[in-house]
Amino acid sequence: MTIIPFNVVLSEVEKVLSTSNFEEIDEFINYICKAGVVVVYGAGRVGLSMRNFAKRLRHLGVNAFFLEDTTVPRAGVGDVLIVGSGSGETPTVKTSVEVAHLNGLNILTLTSNLESSISRLSTVTLRINAPSKLDEDHLIHSAQPMTSLFEQSLYVLLDSIVLVMMEKLGETSSSMSKRHNSIE
């Protein structure tokens, strides 16, 4: 029988998250809670994690949308764009950040690259200490392919943020469940 290396994946994610700096987490969460409209975006596998976060924000009662959905309302000054990009240079995400910046949105970024184009335009940046596609010499090396470690760490971080927001907003799994899609 094949042994599945769960311990490799779990220990790598734990190492990344325990060595990341999330000093601005309260500010990050406060921007989300104060915004009239929250738009969430990321590309590829990062985009899947970001899409899941947008859904959980909706369950929390936040007026949140994923950028590629056709139902995204107009957003402007005081609203929020939350983006994920390991490199901070993903072309589609970078362009969306530039447009959001021009329209006065607060930009909240999750990345491994604080020196990136996206980070420089951000209101708040949370740095995930994982290698990106542009950072082959990162101190943390992964046995996993490509940028899997960043994507997994991002997903765990976002679900952890949901737990913090549940407490802050007085939400429970039961109250959130009342906002879940009833047609699926």
Q: In this structure, what CATH number is given to the domain that contains residue 116?
A: 3.40.50.10490
Parent domain of 11:
7-169
Residue 139: the pLDDT is 67
98 is catalytic: no
pTM, full prediction: 0.94
Q: What is the pLDDT of residues 95-133, one digit of tens each?
A: 999 999 999 999 999 999 999 999 999 999 999 999 877
Of 9-23, 93-107, 153-167, least confident by mean pLDDT is 9-23
* Per annotation, catalytic residue among 23, 89, 98, 151: 151
User: 182 lies in a domain?
Assistant: no
Does any domain span residue 96?
yes
Torsion sign across C-alpha atoms 63, 109, 133, 153: negative
Q: Contact, 124 vs 63, CB < 8 A?
A: no
Domain-located, residue 178: no
C-beta atoms surrounding 77 within 10 Å: 9
Q: Cα separation of 152 and 52, whole Å?
A: 13
Question: Would residue 152 count as lying in a domain?
Answer: yes
Q: For residue range 80-93, list pLDDT tens digits in order.
A: 999 999 999 999 99
Inform me whether the pLDDT recorded for 137 exceeds 70: no
